[in-house]
Amino acid sequence: MLFKNNKIRGAEETIAEELRAARQEKNITLTEVAKKLSINPEYLTALEDGDYAALPGGVYGKTFLREYSSWLGLNSERLLEKYQKEKGKTDSADKDVFSKKKIKKSELVIFPKILKNILLLVVAAIFFLYLGFYLMKTFSLPKIEIFQPPDNLVTENGFVNVVGRADAKTQITINGVQTLKDDAGNFTKKIDLKKGINIIIISGQNKYSRQQNIEKQVLAK
C-alpha cells in the first residue's frame, strides 16, 4: 500500500512561513496567485512577510487570508485563529468592520447627515450625467464624412465610387442598400450610373441617434 507523503506544518511555524511554503510547493508566483484570486499582490506579499500593518483594516485582511489559505489547501480556520494571536487581537475586534476609532456622540449625529447628503449629491450627479448623455445621443446626428463623389459631379463614366467614413456604431446605407465598413469606419461602394441626373442618398443611423441623410447628385453624360 502506498502512502502519500504530506508535509506536516509545525505549530511553531508562522502564518507567513506556512503560506510561503505552500505556495512554493505549488511552484507558482505571487503575481499568478493575485490574478487567480483577484487580490492585490501587495496584500499577498504582506501576508507572506507577516507584515499585517500593510493589510487593510477590519475584516479585509482576514478575508484575504481565508481566500489565500483555502486556495493553497491549508486549514483556513486554524490560520485565522493563529492570525488573531499573532496580531494580538481579541474576538471582540471582529464586531468592528473597519476600525476601532472612537467617535464622539456629537459626531454620531452630524456624520450620518453629511454622508447622506454626499451620497444624494453623487446619485443626482450621476443621474443628470446619464440623462445628458442619453439626450445628446438621442437628438444628435451621427457623424458621416463623404470624400467622393464631390457635389454636382459631371462624369462620362458609367459608374461612380462613393467613399466615406462614419463612426464605428453607425449603420450606413447607400440608396437603401446596407454598406459594410472596416474597423476604422471607412466604407466604399460602387454605384452604376444612368444617363442624366443620378441621385445618391447616403444614410447613417446608430442605436441612439436620428437618421442623417446626405444627398449627392451626379450627372452622367
Residue 2 lies in a domain: no
* Judgement on whether residues 135 and 148 belong to the same structural domain of the protein: no
Q: How far apart are CA 193 and CA 136, in angstroms?
A: 38
Domain boundary among 78, 112, 139: 139
Would you state the cell numbers that stand for residue 23, as one nine-digit string? 505556495
For residue 217, which of 207, 202, 203, 206 has the smallest C-alpha distance? 202
What is the CATH number for 176? 2.60.40.10
**Strand-pair category, 177-179 with 196-205:** unpaired
What residue numbers bound the domain in which 198 lies? 144-220
For residue 219, which of 145, 146, 157, 147 has the smallest C-alpha distance? 157
* Judgement on whether residues 64 and 34 belong to the same structural domain of the protein: yes
Residue 6 lies in a domain: no
pTM score, two decimals? 0.38
* Judgement on whether residues 133 and 186 belong to the same structural domain of the protein: no
* Judgement on whether residues 130 and 107 belong to the same structural domain of the protein: yes
Answer whether residue 88 shows pLDDT above 90. no
* Judgement on whether residues 74 and 133 belong to the same structural domain of the protein: no
Identify whether the C-beta of residue 202 lies closer than 8 Å to the C-beta of residue 147: no
Identify whether the C-beta of residue 162 lies closer than 8 Å to the C-beta of residue 129: no
Q: How far apart are CA 205 and CA 169, in angstroms?
A: 8
Centre a 10 Å sphere on the Cβ of residue 213 and count the other Cβ atoms it contains: 12
Answer whether residue 203 shows pLDDT above 60. yes
pLDDT in tens, 139-180: 677 888 999 999 999 999 999 999 999 988 889 999 999 999
* Judgement on whether residues 179 and 112 belong to the same structural domain of the protein: no
* Judgement on whether residues 208 and 179 belong to the same structural domain of the protein: yes
* Judgement on whether residues 109 and 130 belong to the same structural domain of the protein: yes
pLDDT in tens, 19-71: 899 899 989 998 998 898 988 989 988 888 888 888 887 788 888 888 988 89
Q: How far apart are CA 169 and CA 102, in angstroms?
A: 54
What is the CATH number for 42? 1.10.260.40
| % pLDDT > 90, the chain | 32
User: What's the domain count of the chain?
Assistant: 3
Q: How far apart are CA 136 and CA 122, in angstroms?
A: 21
Strands of the 153-155 sheet, one edge to the other: 153-155, 212-220, 196-205, 171-174, 177-179
Identify whether the C-beta of residue 176 lies closer than 8 Å to the C-beta of residue 146: no
